[in-house]
Amino acid sequence: MSNTKIKRTEISQYGEFGLIDHLTKNFDLRQPSSLKGVGDDAAVLSYNQKKTLATTDLLLEGIHFDLIYTPLRHLGYKAAIVNFSDIYAMNGTPTQLLVSLGVSKRFGVEDLEDFYSGIRLACDEYNVDLVGGDTSASLTGLTISITCLGIVDPERVVYRNGAKANDLICVSGDLGAAYMGLQLLEREKHVFQQASGIQPDFAGKEYLLERQLKPEARKDIVELLQNKDILPTSMIDVSDGLSSELIHLCKQSQCGCRIYEENIPIDYQTALQAEEMHMNLTTTALNGGEDYELLFTVPLSFHEQVKDIEGIRIIGHMCDASLGMRLISRDGNELDLKAQGWNAFEDSSSNA
């Protein structure tokens, strides 16, 4: 191993405002709605006749991410993407981002440059402007607070409460891969800590790692539905697990549902990793979370338009609320859906 010392610039050399200027100097404004970005007391935005969307996420080191296996550049990218995903789940377009950080003394300026390079890559990929934020000293590690703003035409905004009985339940992409990527990273972390010098073995697992460390927001699905003139009746992104998100749609739409185990989309690498780890594949897909796919409903009349769209799978249908929320297994049994995904306030010992 090389003994070369990595350059580390103390944050105190810049000061709060100098640091913000340094980290954001390469962010250009590209949205017509961004009139004034970083550098004043507040950003100035103008949306004309569009509806404004706003979402925010708080990410805490040790709770939402582990820097032992999460590169700061990937963390910056993911922190932005999960907010973009919320805007797309409203059938909108993300336009501006505000980033606030609580940073402990173990981080140098170069570390924050890595983090912001991930933010900048996400902004470039999704055409979003960084327009503000804040920094503060922290005694407990890294804290990330991100707010994303977006726009949507008033007649095209999609809520969680618009589904009706007989609507088709659809999901984009595949499910469970991000969770299996997390399990793989945790396993290799444990091996590394127990036996110093053993390097992680990730050969053939690249897709799982990418789904966990560098997810994407489904901008393409929103655009595809719009191009085909399909307006979902309800929509949500899959951040806490398919089961949890479907329960949200059902409760807010006052419906029940039936989804079919055989229709849940699962990638081959996910299936292999679940088998290797002796985990139930369906449980993983239902409850894993962090897939950031879009779960949505459309009227039954759209069946022919939706069924052959690449990247979208019809997994079931909504029904009367009195019929409950059920999974139909491959052998025809009906099982109650339960919200077993991520719960930020649940004791970790009871999540095992």
pLDDT in tens, 274-331: 999 999 999 999 999 999 999 999 999 999 999 989 999 999 999 999 999 999 999 9
Domain co-membership, 82 together with 125: yes
In a domain, 182, yes or no: yes
Cβ neighbourhood burial of 154 (10 Å; 0-12, 13-18, 19+):
exposed
Domain co-membership, 90 together with 197: no
In a domain, 2, yes or no: no
Q: Cα–Cα distance between 142 and 101 in angstroms, integer?
A: 7
In a domain, 163, yes or no: no
Residue type for 79, please?
Answer: A
Domain co-membership, 137 together with 180: no
Q: Cα–Cα distance between 129 and 124 in angstroms, integer?
A: 8
Domain co-membership, 230 together with 291: yes
Domain co-membership, 128 together with 178: no
pLDDT band at 38 (very low <50, low <70, confident <90, very high): low
> Last residue of some domain: 134, 156, 178?
156
CATH number of the domain enclosing 269: 3.90.650.10
Mean pLDDT across the chain, nearest whole number?
Answer: 89
- The helix/strand/coil state of 25 is coil
In a domain, 245, yes or no: yes
- Confidence at residue 182, expressed as pLDDT on a 0 to 100 scale: 96
pTM of the model: 0.88
Question: Given CA atoms 335, 337, 339, 341 in this order, what sign does their dihedral have?
Answer: positive
Domain co-membership, 191 together with 56: no
What is the DSSP-derived secondary structure letter of residue 4? P
- pLDDT tens for residues 164-219? 999 999 999 999 999 999 999 999 888 877 776 677 778 889 999 999 999 999 99
Q: Strand (E) positions, 28-124?
A: 34-36, 44-45, 51-60, 93-103
In a domain, 161, yes or no: no
Tally the domains of the chain. Answer: 2
Domain co-membership, 147 together with 187: no
Domain co-membership, 173 together with 320: yes
The alpha-carbon radius of gyration of the chain (Å, integer) is: 21
Q: Cα–Cα distance between 193 and 23 in angstroms, integer?
A: 33
- Confidence at residue 312, expressed as pLDDT on a 0 to 100 scale: 98
User: What residues contact residue 229 under an 8 Å CB cut-off, 6+ apart?
Assistant: none
Domain co-membership, 110 together with 143: yes
Domain co-membership, 194 together with 134: no
In a domain, 350, yes or no: no
- pLDDT tens for residues 250-271? 999 999 999 999 999 999 999 9
Domain co-membership, 335 together with 267: yes
Structural domain range at position 37: 12-156
Nearest to 178 by CA among 312, 344, 296, 292: 292
- pLDDT tens for residues 95-150? 999 999 999 999 999 999 999 999 999 999 999 999 988 889 898 889 999 999 99
* Contacts of range 319-323, beta carbons closer than 8 Å, 24 or more positions apart: 319/165, 319/166, 319/255, 319/256, 319/257, 319/258, 320/165, 320/255, 320/256, 321/250, 321/254, 321/255, 321/256, 322/256, 323/256, 323/258
Domain co-membership, 339 together with 192: yes
> Last residue of some domain: 106, 126, 156?
156
- Confidence at residue 350, expressed as pLDDT on a 0 to 100 scale: 34
> Last residue of some domain: 129, 156, 183?
156
CATH number of the domain enclosing 148: 3.30.1330.10
In a domain, 351, yes or no: no
Structure tokens given for 228: 């085909």
Q: What are the φ/ψ torsions at residue 257 (nearest 5 degrees)?
A: -155, 160
Residue type for 121, please?
Answer: L
- Confidence at residue 322, expressed as pLDDT on a 0 to 100 scale: 97
In a domain, 131, yes or no: yes
